[in-house]
Amino acid sequence: MATVKGTNKTLIDTGGMASQVAAGLVNGRVKCDLDEYVCDGEAAGTVIEFFSDLPAGAKVLAVIFSSSVNQTSVTLQIGTSYNDDEFAEAGNTTLQAALTAWIEHGKGYVVGTAALDSQIIITTAASTLAAGTIYGAVLYTTD
């Protein structure tokens, strides 16, 4: 059986200035913003802003959403005010009820690399939102 290393572990073991790992990727403190939105039949094309604006330099680890009711007739894209499908395209996302959460990897996206990219949004497509509540969390690191 072989032993291999992840990218950051390789950089750490190599040492030296040329191999430094970016802040927040090793021993970073995870921060979390929570939010919720009460739906009442919003039409396709509705933009819902979640959370506070993330600080410049924050690295997005994950965005997590769940719903109190099935939202299977509507698809959602998740992104920023700059790129509305940065984290998920509309064809891939529906929210199921109760304990099923929809989680998208934040891809290590660094906030502040484009104008208006600090606001996380959901954009609805295909149908209207069913009455219920969408719960959200964004996990990120800044150090």
Kindly report, residue by residue over 103-128, the tens digit of the pLDDT: 777 888 889 888 889 999 999 888 88
CATH class of residue range 23-141: mainly beta
Residue 100 scores a pLDDT above 60: no
Task: Name the pTM for this structure.
Answer: 0.79
Handedness of CA 25, 31, 110, 56 (dihedral sign): negative
DSSP 92: G
Query: Average of pLDDT values for 50-66?
Result: 92
Contact 33, 51 (CB under 8 A): yes
Can you give the residue ranges of every domain in the chain?
Answer: 23-141
Contact 95, 71 (CB under 8 A): yes
Contact 132, 74 (CB under 8 A): no
CA pair distance 45, 54, nearest whole angstrom: 23
**pLDDT digits over 3-55, tens only?**
888 887 787 788 765 567 666 667 778 999 999 999 998 998 999 999 999 99
